[in-house]
């Protein structure tokens, strides 16, 4: 294998993972060579259920901020929030030129506009019929790939240490609905001369065969639109413009008007229309506000909520509390998206609620060809590996067990185990003279953002919320008479979320007694933090013994 290196260079190429190898979401990768850094993606993650009151999770930007002088640009690989959604939080701190396909730039602009960050941000459109671009010592070329959002690209980074292919979320689709197929000729061309490493999507590593084509869904939509006597509702991811296009087309064929419901869905359709992906006359669309007055049997509602989000359009419809839309007789709801880990329960709850309202609900468990994944399966992975033939494989966009499954798949086609690098967040790989070495490199601290999108949630606050959510809080107010220099012989006790206070008088009496004993014992002391500490420990032991529970205990001293 030969690499494009003029001579054995001294510097190594670094790849640093800020997020995305094991969390599916929150993708952010840093490539560094000498005094040049190029970033790939800047995505948000969604919190697990332990992160109470957290709406989104950001990658740790510290390394980027500390090395901002080196950063030549950020490439956004495709138009999904887990690849670009954290950009506003980065760009409000530093300005970095953005490189992406046209559609992606439109999605990003919508996001930045909300935060008044549009001015001064430089957008550079990547056209897969052209290329490459040069960023410092990096030359970056790109080629069409397929995914569940159009204009997704794969990337070939030429560096003095060799060529690295960076191919996030992809599949091979030979009959995409509006895109062109994966450009395997260009990919092969860029791989000529040898590829050092392939960083690529492993999410489908446990699924056999090839992922189906987006096109396979059209017939299903057509049939349901034809045979349904009432309203049709279709929900999918709002970025999935090709799915929306098929729903629109099936509706028009069957004489149905289209209502777009939900802000994200309307934004997405707006971008789709602007870029020519939805070339349909406006007469086919009805504003949500006017939908009520039309014949419901002639309407298709395309709505957000495919992951069971309670506040989405479909969420409100399923609870029968949507202002403008109600489920009526003979209506059909189609879920054209499969739940991801973490939202199964929400989705099935929503299906149950819609069923109770009288709708017929169709979803992947009971009907084929309602959804195809945007992610390749084992067959796709093996094909890409053979097109690119890299020395090293770096699985991304999965979980620890999916990386391992991908590794086993690659070993089955002859890749050596030591040439598959399973990286965790904060890990770095250095490439030098064709040899890769893996290091633990950074301690990353994720940043938690609340539902306003503005405030950072402190880890201390989160820890308290966890305690509060399980056993509530118990506040003991100790009253200190500063003239007599002693504690009063009574305390105020209040609690929330602990035990039901009305039923616990004897317990409270006993708690008060214990506290007063403690206070007596510390008569002379004015070391309040110590007194509070003793009260807290006493109550902790007391409640644990009496109730089996340990609320968050908060002693407060009030001077009067």
177 vs 499, beta carbon nearer a copy of itself: 499
* Residue 339 dihedral angles phi and psi, to the nearest 5°: -60, 145
As measured in angstroms, the least distance from the Cβ of 543 to a copy of itself is 12
CA gap 241, 275 in Å, rounded: 11
Residue 477: count of CB within 10 angstroms of its CB: 15
Q: Kindly indicate which of the ranges 45-53, 186-194, 223-231, 293-301 contains the residues binding a copy of itself, using the contact rule CB under 8 A.
A: 45-53
479 is an interface residue for a copy of itself by CB under 8 A: yes
Q: Kindly indicate which of the ranges 29-37, 242-250, 256-264, 476-484 contains the residues binding a copy of itself, using the contact rule CB under 8 A.
A: 476-484
- Which residue in the set 92, 311, 329, 458 belongs to the binding site for a copy of itself (CB under 8 A)? 458
As measured in angstroms, the least distance from the Cβ of 169 to a copy of itself is 19
Helix (H, G, I), strand (E, B) or coil at 85: coil
- Contact between 291 and 299 under an 8 Å Cβ cutoff? The reply is yes
As measured in angstroms, the least distance from the Cβ of 13 to a copy of itself is 26
Distance, CA of 97 to chain centre: 23
As measured in angstroms, the least distance from the Cβ of 231 to a copy of itself is 18
433 vs 469, beta carbon nearer a copy of itself: 469
311 vs 345, beta carbon nearer a copy of itself: 345
Q: Kindly indicate which of the ranges 109-117, 142-150, 215-223, 348-356 contains the residues binding a copy of itself, using the contact rule CB under 8 A.
A: 348-356
- Which residue in the set 192, 293, 505, 560 belongs to the binding site for a copy of itself (CB under 8 A)? 560
Q: What is the dihedral of CA 245, 248, 252, 258, to 10 degrees?
A: -150
As measured in angstroms, the least distance from the Cβ of 407 to a copy of itself is 10
Please, is 548 exposed, middle or buried when counting C-beta atoms within 10 Å of its C-beta (0-12, 13-18, 19+)? exposed
- Which residue in the set 451, 486, 521, 527 belongs to the binding site for a copy of itself (CB under 8 A)? 451
50 vs 517, beta carbon nearer a copy of itself: 50
Pairing type for strands 473-481 and 552-559 reads parallel
68 vs 462, beta carbon nearer a copy of itself: 462
Residue 386: count of CB within 10 angstroms of its CB: 10
* Number of Cα atoms under 13 Å in the Cβ half of residue 232: 28
Report the candidate in 558, 555, 539 with the shortest Cα–Cα distance to residue 547.
539
Residues in contact with 303: Cβ distance below 8 Å, sequence separation at least 6, in sequence order: 233, 234, 235, 260, 261, 262, 265, 312, 313, 314, 317, 325
Terminal Cα distance for the chain, rounded: 82
As measured in angstroms, the least distance from the Cβ of 2 to a copy of itself is 35
CA gap 333, 245 in Å, rounded: 17
532 is an interface residue for a copy of itself by CB under 8 A: no
549 is an interface residue for a copy of itself by CB under 8 A: yes
Residues of span 103-142 touching a copy of itself by CB under 8 A: none
- Which residue in the set 351, 384, 387, 515 belongs to the binding site for a copy of itself (CB under 8 A)? 351
454 is an interface residue for a copy of itself by CB under 8 A: yes
- Contact between 106 and 275 under an 8 Å Cβ cutoff? The reply is yes
CA gap 289, 287 in Å, rounded: 5
194 is an interface residue for a copy of itself by CB under 8 A: no
CA gap 248, 221 in Å, rounded: 10
Residues of span 377-416 touching a copy of itself by CB under 8 A: 399-401, 404-405
497 is an interface residue for a copy of itself by CB under 8 A: yes
134 vs 496, beta carbon nearer a copy of itself: 496
CA distances (Å), origin 373, targets 8, 20, 210: 43, 19, 10
Strand order in the sheet with 162-167: 133-135, 138-144, 153-159, 162-167, 195-201, 390-396
276 vs 548, beta carbon nearer a copy of itself: 548
- Which residue in the set 192, 366, 418, 443 belongs to the binding site for a copy of itself (CB under 8 A)? 366
Residue 194, token pair as written in the block? 């040898």
| Contact residues: a copy of itself, CB under 8 A | 22, 48-49, 52-53, 206, 341-342, 344-345, 348, 351-353, 355-356, 361, 365-366, 399-401, 404-405, 450-452, 454-455, 458, 460-462, 464-473, 475, 477, 479, 481, 488, 492, 494, 496-500, 503, 547-549, 552, 554, 556, 558, 560
């Amino acid at each position: 294998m030969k690499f494009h290196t003029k001579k054995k260079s001294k510097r190594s190429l670094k790849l640093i993972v800020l997020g995305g190898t094991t969390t599916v979401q929150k993708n952010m990768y840093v490539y560094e060579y000498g005094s040049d850094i190029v970033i790939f993606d800047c995505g948000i993650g969604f919190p697990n259920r332990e992160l109470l009151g957290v709406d989104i999770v950001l990658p740790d930007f510290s390394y980027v901020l500390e090395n901002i002088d080196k950063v030549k640009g950020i490439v956004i690989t495709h138009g999904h929030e887990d690849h670009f959604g954290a950009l506003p939080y980065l760009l409000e701190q530093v300005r970095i030129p953005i490189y992406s396909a046209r559609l992606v730039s439109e999605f990003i602009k919508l996001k930045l506009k909300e935060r008044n960050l549009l001015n001064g941000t430089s957008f550079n459109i990547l056209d897969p019929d052209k290329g490459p671009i040069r960023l410092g010592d990096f030359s970056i070329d790109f080629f069409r790939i397929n995914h569940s959002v159009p204009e997704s690209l794969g990337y070939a980074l030429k560096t003095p240490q060799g060529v690295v292919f960076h191919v996030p979320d992809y599949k091979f689709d030979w009959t995409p609905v509006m895109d062109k197929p994966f450009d395997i000729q260009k990919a092969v061309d860029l791989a000529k001369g040898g590829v050092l490493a392939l960083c690529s999507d492993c999410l489908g590593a446990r699924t056999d065969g090839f992922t189906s084509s987006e096109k396979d869904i059209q017939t299903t939509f057509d049939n349901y639109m034809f045979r349904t006597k009432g309203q049709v509702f279709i929900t999918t991811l709002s970025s999935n413009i090709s799915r929306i296009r098929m729903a629109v087309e099936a509706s028009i064929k069957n004489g149905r008007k289209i209502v777009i419901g939900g802000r994200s869905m309307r934004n997405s359709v707006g971008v789709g229309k602007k870029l020519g992906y939805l070339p349909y006359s406006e007469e086919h669309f009805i504003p949500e506000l006017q939908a009520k007055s039309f014949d419901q049997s002639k309407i298709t509602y395309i709505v957000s909520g495919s992951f069971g989000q309670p506040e989405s359009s479909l969420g409100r419809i399923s609870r029968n509390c949507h202002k403008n839309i109600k489920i009526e007789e003979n209506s059909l709801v189609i879920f054209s998206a499969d739940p991801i880990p973490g939202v199964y329960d929400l989705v099935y709850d929503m299906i149950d609620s819609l069923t109770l309202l009288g709708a017929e609900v169709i979803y992947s468990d009971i009907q084929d060809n309602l959804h195809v994944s945007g992610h390749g399966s084992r067959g796709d992975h093996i094909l890409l590996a053979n097109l690119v033939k890299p020395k090293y494989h770096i699985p991304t966009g999965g979980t620890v067990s999916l990386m391992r499954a991908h590794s086993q798949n690659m070993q089955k086609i002859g890749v050596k185990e030591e040439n598959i690098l399973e990286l965790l967040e904060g890990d770095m790989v250095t490439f030098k003279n064709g040899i890769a070495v893996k290091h633990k490199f950074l301690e990353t601290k994720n940043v938690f953002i609340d539902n306003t999108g503005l405030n950072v949630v402190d880890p201390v606050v989160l820890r308290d919320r966890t305690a509060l959510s399980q056993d509530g809080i118990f506040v003991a107010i100790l009253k200190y008479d500063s003239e007599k220099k002693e504690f009063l012989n009574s305390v105020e006790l209040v609690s929330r979320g602990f035990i039901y206070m009305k039923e616990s008088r004897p317990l409270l009496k006993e708690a008060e007694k214990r506290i007063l004993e403690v206070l007596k014992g510390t008569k002379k002391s004015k070391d309040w933090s110590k007194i509070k500490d003793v009260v807290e420990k006493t109550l902790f032991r007391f409640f644990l013994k009496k109730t089996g529970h340990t609320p968050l205990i908060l002693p407060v001293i009030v001077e009067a």
